[in-house]
Amino acid sequence: MDSETALTAPSRGTREPVREVLDRALSGEILGQDDALALIECPESDLVDLIAAAGELRDRGKGRDVTYSRKVFLPITNLCRDRCTYCTFRKDPGDPGAWTMTPDEISAWSRRGAELGCKEALMCLGDKPEVAFREFRETLRELGAGSTPEYVARACQLALAEGLLPHTNAGLMTREEMAMLRPHNASMGLMLENISPRLRARGGPHQWAPDKDPNLRMRMIEEAGELRIPFTSGILLGIGETPAERALSLLALRASHERHGHIQEVIVQNFRAKPDIPMASAPEPDDLDMVRALATARLVLGPRANVQAPPNLSPNQIEIFLRAGINDWGGISPLTKDYVNPESPWPHLERLAQRCDRAGFRLKQRLTIYPEYINDNWLDPAIAPTVRAMQARMAGEEKP
Ligand code: SF4
């Protein structure tokens, strides 16, 4: 389908029955905007068929292996110039818990992670702290870095030296910043969250978050494709968007992937309420919201897409999410907590493997970069030998 079509306002004409949309998806047809809306808004009476079709499409493209990446979560800095109303990660300088990791901390955490079998170092940080905070500009100077991305590049080198593959999610970056980080990263990422500009309006979750402008985020996702960076993106459910806006967001990601082929995985993440955020009393998306979004993602993105749900945010929904078409659980750490959702512990890997097994799936470890991107077309020559060596080493390991 034409990518521009994906961004037009949803039409509300006469709806084709959901069963017919599912049959067209299973026959290999690429679904359009009205199809995606019909699926994500389907009545409960169609849910069994929706889940079965999404599961069947996943089986055709991905089989019954479900993957995860064993990682260390490195919160390089939790200072952030934005103020998303659902965020518990960000801090101002001087706040209790405000923290920028030192090079020694980055090396020590990476080393410990590698000892525990981790392969990925997730570089996670707030958006553009140097623009907002004089204190952080001084910190960068003391660390000998000219900018936040430059310090992240150094963090990547430190993690690589300890045997981990970096994956950077540093928020909104320029083409030049991504190009500078490419040789030091196996893959990179930025959540789209949602394509709707409405969420930036007064009273919306992104009113005070200039870096959450969906046009800017789509531009970065496009530029990552132009730079041939294997890229992770996704949508965030439950921040005030409608189901139709979730579907339009999936279509926008698909359109970018059709142009560049670079979106290695699409995350469908659910908002979790926390006591210390402005959205503390906002309702969380329920299980059926997630199932509808996951199944729609699979059916819209196709059999070969990698569709991911974070298992720590829905510990009781492992089996239903597998049935609804996912093939990946994302990063799971034996060492560090999920700093974005610190109240949600990672699942124990052996127990997760058992649950997958009982549901008819095999849990398998993967690198941060998916196997289909481990080739000269996608890897920067500076990091390619390390990625290939790690891929060979992982293949020789027995445990998931
Ligand atoms: S969600 Fe990200 S961009 Fe928004 S306030 Fe938190 S750290 Fe900053």
pLDDT at 343: 80
Helix (H/G/I), strand (E/B), else coil: 120: strand
Residue 326, token pair as written in the block: 């996912």
Residue 22 covered by a domain = no
Q: What are φ and ψ of residue 122, in 5° steps?
A: -85, 110
| pTM given for the model | 0.94
Shortest-distance Cα residue to atom 2 of ligand 1? 126
Shortest-distance Cα residue to atom 7 of ligand 1? 126
Question: Rounded to the nearest whole angstrom, what is the distance from the C-alpha of residue 288 to the centroid of ligand 1?
Answer: 26
Question: Rounded to the nearest whole angstrom, what is the distance from the C-alpha of residue 126 to the centroid of ligand 1?
Answer: 6
Q: What is the pLDDT of residues 362-378, one digit of tens each?
A: 999 999 999 999 999 99
Residue 221 covered by a domain = yes
Residue 138 covered by a domain = yes
Contacts of 326 (CB under 8 A, 6+ apart): 58, 66, 268, 294, 298, 307, 308, 309
Q: Do 179 and 173 meet the contact criterion of CB atoms below 8 Å apart?
A: no
How many domains, in total, are found in the chain? 1
Nearest to 314 by CA among 300, 294, 334: 294
Residue 36 covered by a domain = no
Shortest-distance Cα residue to atom 4 of ligand 1? 84
Residue 215 covered by a domain = yes
Residues in the chain: 400
Q: Tell me the CA distances in angstroms from 13 to 16, 33, 35, 94, one per residue in order.
A: 9, 12, 11, 54
CA distance 56 to 125: 37
Question: What is the DSSP secondary structure assignment for residue 314, as one 8-state letter?
Answer: -
Residue 25 covered by a domain = no
Per-residue pLDDT of the chain (400 residues; tens, 9 = 90+): 333 334 455 555 567 899 999 999 999 999 999 999 999 999 999 999 999 999 999 999 999 999 999 999 999 999 999 999 999 999 999 999 999 999 999 999 999 999 999 999 999 999 999 999 999 999 999 999 999 999 999 999 999 999 999 999 999 999 999 999 999 999 999 999 999 999 999 999 999 999 999 999 999 999 999 999 999 999 999 999 999 999 999 999 999 999 999 999 999 999 999 898 999 999 999 999 999 999 999 999 999 999 999 999 988 999 999 999 999 999 998 888 887 778 888 888 999 999 999 999 999 999 999 999 999 999 999 999 999 999 999 988 866 6
Half-sphere exposure of 328 (CA within 13 A, CB side): 29
- Binding pocket residue ranges, ligand 1, CB within 6 Å: 80, 82-84, 87, 89-90, 126-127, 171, 209, 211
CA distance 7 to 252: 7
CA distance 182 to 156: 10
Q: What is the pLDDT of residues 242-264, one digit of tens each?
A: 999 999 999 999 999 999 999 99
Query: What's 295's domain CATH number?
Result: 3.20.20.70
Domain range for 222 is 59-393
Residue 227 covered by a domain = yes
